[in-house]
Chain A
């Protein structure tokens, strides 16, 4: 064969495999409002940066007539490319080829690109769109899943791992995304569950649609499995690129700095908080008023909204922000919000992102449902995560910091490096009403006018303890600061903490209350 004909042969082979499941299957994919696997990769990555691996891999199915079937690229596209100019590894399952089902060769392509991303120290992005295990390949497809989970775990805390659910992701397949750091879902396209509606109906007699069982909204609002919700695939890709702008490429690096920008002028930090501690406000307005360009990327916005987590920049440097949200459930800590915050804190700690904690909470949520759901075990996660974190930890107490909630929200006692309190702060064992009712129980009960006595005692307690000065007198906070100075002080503390080193006793790993 001449070189020319070899080249022609190569192009012929290339074109044949590149169309995936073929025109018809691609049209079907489009009719479902979905892009094809290749279109997804090209849209997400910087233009013309995708370099494909293993296009000519062939599947290994021998039984049930599979040996006669040709499955282009074995139903998964893998390779490298860049996002905002920085390299990433990526794979995208191709639903047009055997429903994106996972066989041994398919899994090997994925584990190969995963190994590559760990070795190269660059993020891994997985786009999931698959009917699940390739039944014809039997235990080999199970082996494939297991090997993916194993690598997800090895890579955890070493490189950022991003999962994008753009189709069905059912059975064992959901555990790969669950092991990764961020899960992106798209309305009406993403579906995640362990057992589908059919099985649930036959076994348990419960009838439910796929959408209601594990659609994008359910995963974003009810389960907390998803971190980002988008209305379309394009919006989803924008969210991924934005997330990538905030995070470092591996655990040895810091996030890329950006030019510093002032917060937008429409957020006036001194006018957001009502002085009455029982009145709500949106903690995000406080965040907008202190971060660069008032730009805040919120994570898990629709789940456990009583705590707000996300990334922003201060003076060009990425910070992870955790703030109680008085607007929702008075900003209490509970099972879900503790879980949400703890995981985020651990991500920030693993990837050298300083933590900023904004405190305004009345404590943990009371209730039988909470106790029985294990609020002790789940609530302990946040204590563990903050205590364990060695990145710079800055805490600003805005208003209420009562009881266990005060301790949990990155107090000095859990190793905060800087604790500031606004003059509106109330650092106490509980709110004045509750405290007065306990401390002065007999005085109130024995008074000729118990209500009047209660009012008097509440006022007494408020005057004495509902302020930041008792904590300041003990050195538990470093300074009472004017709200307007907060950003300036945060910039200083970030600069001060650049070389922070904290040594911990050697251990293989801790045992957090999972």
Chain B
């Protein structure tokens, strides 16, 4: 069964000697939201990329199409700005939260 490891858990400045579960040990650390990054909100396949590196885009402009669950999701720009890098190509299969586009 699940492997437990002895460790310390600090609650209200007191350090408790206890077993730390696998779920606790492997919990995802919090990552601060970076407005320069566009990540995949769902795993799927990149269908169309509508912008080029270096291009200026307006808020609401279509960046790419991410097909997932038989739906073609239009990924619209959440901001105005210049595209620094495009990390994917049409046809790529992407995982959830994978970085797709970076703004300058």
Give the B-binding residues of A (Cβ under 8 A): 203-206, 217, 220-222, 277-280, 302, 305-306, 326-332, 336, 362-363, 365-369, 372, 402-403, 430-435, 437
Contacts and interface: CB of A to CB of B under 8 A. Distances in A.
B99 interface: no
A278 B17 contact: yes
Nearest to B92: A205
A330 B28 CA distance: 20
A331 B20 CA distance: 11
Closest 10 interchain pairs by CB?
A: A434-B12, A330-B16, A368-B30, A433-B13, A431-B14, A205-B93, A434-B13, A204-B43, A330-B18, A362-B11
Contacts, number: 88
A288 to B, nearest CB: 19
Interface in B7-30: 9, 11-21, 23-24, 27-28, 30
12 contacts: A204-B44, A205-B44, A205-B95, A221-B1, A278-B15, A302-B1, A329-B21, A330-B18, A368-B30, A403-B12, A431-B12, A434-B12
Contacts of A368: 30
Interface of B: 1-2, 4, 9, 11-21, 23-24, 27-28, 30, 43-45, 68-70, 93, 95
Contacts of B45: 205
Contact of B19 (A328, A362, A366, A435): A328
A287 B17 CA distance: 21
Contacts of A204: 43-44, 68
Given A402-B12, A431-B13, A434-B13, A329 B93 contact: no
A327 B7 CA distance: 10
A328 B69 CA distance: 39
Given A220-B1, A369-B28, 13 more contacts: A203-B70, A205-B93, A221-B1, A277-B14, A278-B16, A280-B17, A280-B18, A280-B19, A330-B11, A331-B18, A402-B12, A431-B12, A433-B13
A389 B26 CA distance: 35
B17 A279 contact: yes
A93 B2 CA distance: 31
A205 B43 contact: yes
Contacts of A366: 11
